[in-house]
Amino acid sequence: MQRITILGATGSIGVSTLDVIARHPDRYSVYALTAHSRVEALAAQCIQFRPARAVVGSADAADQLGALLRAAGCKTDVEWGEAALCSVSSAAETDAVMAAIVGAAGLAPTLAAARAGKKVMLANKEALVMSGQLFMDAVAASGAVLLPIDSEHNAIFQCLPQGYGRVPAAAGVTKILLTASGGPFLKRDVATLENVTPDEACKHPKWVMGRKISVDSATMMNKGLEVIEAHWLFGAPAEQIDVVIHPQSVIHSMVSYSDGSVLAELGNPDMRTPIAHALAYPERIASGVAQLDLTQVGTLQFEQPDFKRFPCLALAFEALRAGGTAPALLNAANEVAVQAFLDERIGFRRIDRVIAQVMEELPHGAASSIEAVMAQDALARLAAERIISG
């Protein structure tokens, strides 16, 4: 019986994880659930799954959650704050952690799980984007098992040989091919993107996601962050990582080998597939996802990304090549700019301009410690806010 902590339980990944867990009560139990402010949704999850602990983002949210659980006769202990997140991630009672908190807020508890030697199911790409080598060093030092949840990285993981040691040449790997749907604006006239509304940007053609991730998909910053994540997960330099537009989202990613072979992982676009893979690895369990019928799909299309349409993708490649704290600057500026767009303070096409200006203005250094990374994160947020407000 694996005991699972889910960081970000009320988001789309957290909900899908609980769906898979509920299908296998003989294999999994829930140790802890966390959410930032969606108290009622978290309360319903706690009442159903009866975790030992629940964590929220503030004292007020903890009071509200505690009252709801007491009224329902649920004895889950309620805590709040970053220290509590790190505690449930590293607790001896936790076997595996689903890291699904969006953004930089997920770094500390995800790193805590890695340092504690847990099975870390990584859905929070920003944690690895920001901390890079520091995160991978923590995994190696503790003996943690790191399993990617993003459908693209999970697909790549499945297409690599067992025991792959993050050295592409030794395994005959020539390219990591990350597929991308292209988001809602793949064919829209670029000149009209200045007028995009938040609701339009959040209407992804294939995936149901939170608003921040949906905007990242529309700008393709989401794919850019995945490029950086792939570098750290699989040891591939920027030159060995390509992005391929694939609107059907049937092929989730591919690996090209020196003998001319290209291995791909295919499936219906449903996050329960990679979640089930990670939960049961190296076994396979039912995820609740329908089997793929290629005769119904009919056609698979591919094209190269247009960096003029998707400048955020180009900025991510630049940050990867620059190294050090450049990816942390990129991520922080993006988080601030996306929130400003969602709040209708800036237009859609200002997102990439704000990020580019932050990266031009702020010198980046070595990512020598988490403290150094977080200091750069804070500076980038201040710079982005100043640019937006100015």
Amino acid found at 293: D
Tokens of 344: 């209708």
What are 202-231's pLDDT values in tens digits? Answer: 987 776 778 898 999 999 999 999 999 999
Contact 234, 136 (CB under 8 A): no
Report the length, in residues, of the chain. 390
Exposure b/e, 74-90, CB count within 10 A at least 16 = b: bebebbbeeebbbbbbb
Phi, psi of 318 (to 5 degrees): -60, -45
Low-confidence stretches of the chain (pLDDT < 70) are 207
* C-alpha–C-alpha distance, residues 216 and 279, integer Å: 26
Report the C-alpha dihedral over residues 270, 274, 277, 278, rounded to 10 degrees.
Answer: -140
Element (H, E) at 84: helix 82-90
Stated pTM of the model:
0.93
Task: Decide the pairing of beta strands 53-56 and 119-122.
Answer: unpaired
* C-alpha–C-alpha distance, residues 215 and 318, integer Å: 20
Report the C-alpha dihedral over residues 53, 149, 208, 85, rounded to 10 degrees.
Answer: 30
> Which domains occur in the chain, in start order?
2-148 (3.40.50.720), 150-311 (no CATH), 323-390 (1.10.1740.10)
- Cis amide leading into 161 (omega within 30): no
Q: Residue 207 has what pLDDT?
A: 65
What are the start-end ranges of the E strands in 105-258?
119-122, 145-148, 173-180, 241-245, 251-257
Q: Residue 209 has what pLDDT?
A: 76
Can you state the angle between helices 221-234 and 326-342, rounded to 10 degrees? Answer: 150
Contact 308, 220 (CB under 8 A): no
* C-alpha–C-alpha distance, residues 375 and 304, integer Å: 36
Q: Residue 237 has what pLDDT?
A: 96
Q: Residue 127 has what pLDDT?
A: 86
* C-alpha–C-alpha distance, residues 14 and 7, integer Å: 7
Nearest Cα to 319, choosing from 218, 215, 241?
Answer: 241
* C-alpha–C-alpha distance, residues 375 and 370, integer Å: 8
Task: Decide the pairing of beta strands 262-266 and 251-257.
Answer: antiparallel
